């Protein structure tokens, strides 16, 4: 390498690190301001726009990317060069993830806040993304609330909390964002479910009787798998492949800590399994995985009548209908 090339490289490195330093300084100030004003922001609003995707850059949305598995997935996608839409409720933790991605490169990121216990916030979130992005290559529906505490909560929309946060809001968001996913084929939708699966009692979907946090969580997780099977049928032949999975058992994350369970696997293992569903072309759309292995889910996930009932209920509760290629 000649001197000019070395100088040029050194100059480029210096300007990159100066730019990163400036970016960090700007970001530190912005994060402090965001933390101060977060309580007054209108829900679903983009809090801080740090980076925009470059032309041709792959765009990935990871819901629930402010901690645990979602955080790790967002960091991995950023590290391979994607533009990552980081979603969550906690502005400070969202800022930390975005900062980490933007500082490390080569990818970039932005944070958006929306509480999935509010269908209005999910709608506003989706509308903001539709306005801000022309494409969505990867959608990872990861946001979730676990089984603890063992209390029945009702959302502002009047629905059982886990059913809405873990499933119904994902149903609404996915369908609203579908035009961008279809515009980005080949595209991928991954629903992060769980091995905890309990059949839905269609006479008591909101679990007013015999409630337990575990039942509510497991019902919502099976609903995600049923939704995945529906999507696979509706999107057949479009170039959008969908999959669902149990990422790993008792990863050391906030929901596991809240449940008081001893960790049995690592977040890296869960991220490896999820990234396999994001990247692999070696499975049939709709497949459910346990970790890295294709598995059969609870029987109800393969019951067309149960799936139709869930779909109709979800359309009724969200007011959205996606025709796809429904049979
Ligand atoms: N941990 C495990 O062993 C395990 C096992 C099987 C499946 N999973 C699944 O893996 C996914 C990730 O969970 P995790 O273990 O990483 O848990 P976590 O650390 O508790 O992270 C949950 C994420 O979901 C977001 N979230 C929670 N409630 C929300 C709401 N009302 N509105 C919007 N976002 C909300 C959180 O955002 P904020 O913190 O910003 O509110 C956070 O980013 C979940 O779908 C979970 O069911 C986990």
The reply to whether ligand 1 has any atom less than 6 angstroms from the CB of 244 is: no
- The number of distinct structural domains making up the chain is 1
- Evaluate whether residue 202 is within a structural domain: yes
Residue 12 in tokens: 């480029």
- Evaluate whether residue 134 is within a structural domain: yes
Question: What pLDDT tens digit does each residue of the chain (327 aa) get?
Answer: 333 232 222 223 333 333 443 344 334 434 433 443 343 344 555 555 568 899 999 999 999 999 999 999 999 999 999 999 999 999 999 999 999 999 999 999 999 999 999 999 999 999 999 999 999 999 999 999 999 999 999 999 999 999 999 999 999 999 999 999 999 999 999 999 999 999 999 999 999 999 999 999 999 999 999 999 999 999 999 999 999 999 999 999 999 999 999 999 999 999 999 999 999 999 999 999 999 999 999 999 999 999 999 999 999 999 998 877 544
The reply to whether ligand 1 has any atom less than 6 angstroms from the CB of 113 is: no
- Evaluate whether residue 261 is within a structural domain: yes
The reply to whether ligand 1 has any atom less than 6 angstroms from the CB of 69 is: yes
pLDDT (0 to 100) of residue 52: 87
pLDDT (0 to 100) of residue 300: 98
- Evaluate whether residue 55 is within a structural domain: no
Distance CA 285, CA 262 (A): 33
- How close is the Cα of 192 to the center of ligand 1, in Å? 9
- How close is the Cα of 68 to the center of ligand 1, in Å? 7
Distance CA 65, CA 97 (A): 8
Residue-range definition of the domain harbouring residue 135: 114-318
State which ligand 1 atom lies nearest to the alpha carbon of 261: 3
- How close is the Cα of 71 to the center of ligand 1, in Å? 10
The whole model's pTM is what? Answer: 0.89
**What residues act catalytically?**
217
- Evaluate whether residue 30 is within a structural domain: no
* Protein residue closest via CA to atom 7 of ligand 1: 194
The reply to whether ligand 1 has any atom less than 6 angstroms from the CB of 140 is: no
Q: Which CATH number fits the domain that encloses residue 193?
A: 3.40.50.720
> Contact, 86 vs 62, CB < 8 A?
yes
- Listing from the earlier edge strand, what are the strands of the sheet with 293-295? 46-48, 108-113, 83-88, 59-62, 138-141, 187-192, 240-246, 288-290, 293-295
Distance CA 258, CA 61 (A): 26
* Protein residue closest via CA to atom 42 of ligand 1: 64
- Evaluate whether residue 94 is within a structural domain: no
DSSP type of residue 18: H
The reply to whether ligand 1 has any atom less than 6 angstroms from the CB of 153 is: no
- Evaluate whether residue 265 is within a structural domain: yes
- Evaluate whether residue 32 is within a structural domain: no
């Amino acid at each position: 390498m000649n001197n000019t090339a070395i100088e040029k490289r050194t100059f480029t490195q210096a300007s990159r690190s100066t730019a990163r330093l400036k970016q960090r300084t700007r970001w530190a100030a912005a994060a402090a301001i965001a933390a101060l004003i977060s309580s007054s922001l209108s829900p679903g609003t983009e809090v801080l726009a740090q980076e925009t995707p470059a032309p041709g850059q792959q765009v990935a949305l990871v819901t629930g990317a402010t901690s645990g598995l979602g955080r790790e997935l967002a960091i991995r996608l950023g590290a391979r060069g994607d533009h990552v839409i980081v979603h969550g409720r906690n502005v400070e933790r969202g800022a930390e993830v975005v900062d980490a991605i933007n500082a490390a490169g080569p990818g970039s990121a932005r944070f958006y806040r929306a509480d999935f216990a509010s269908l209005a916030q999910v709608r506003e979130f989706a509308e903001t993304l539709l306005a801000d992005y022309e494409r969505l290559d990867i959608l990872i529906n990861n946001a979730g609330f676990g089984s603890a505490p063992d209390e029945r909560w009702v959302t502002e929309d009047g629905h059982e909390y886990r059913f809405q946060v873990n499933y119904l809001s994902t149903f609404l968001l996915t369908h609203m964002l579908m035009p961008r996913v279809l515009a980005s084929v080949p595209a991928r939708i991954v629903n992060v479910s769980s091995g905890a699966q309990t059949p839905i009692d269609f006479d008591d979907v909101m679990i007013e009787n015999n409630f337990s946090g575990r039942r509510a969580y497991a019902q919502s997780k099976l609903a995600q798998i049923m939704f995945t099977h529906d999507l696979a049928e509706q999107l057949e032949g479009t170039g959008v492949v969908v999959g669902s999975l149990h990422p790993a058992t008792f990863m050391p994350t906030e929901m596991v800590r809240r449940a008081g369970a001893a960790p049995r696997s690592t977040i890296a293992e869960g991220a490896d399994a999820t990234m396999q569903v994001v990247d692999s072309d070696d499975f049939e759309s709709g497949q459910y995985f346990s970790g890295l292995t294709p598995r059969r889910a609870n029987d109800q996930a393969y019951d067309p009548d149960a799936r139709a009932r869930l779909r109709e209920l979800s359309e009724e509760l969200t007011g959205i209908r996606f025709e796809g290629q429904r049979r």
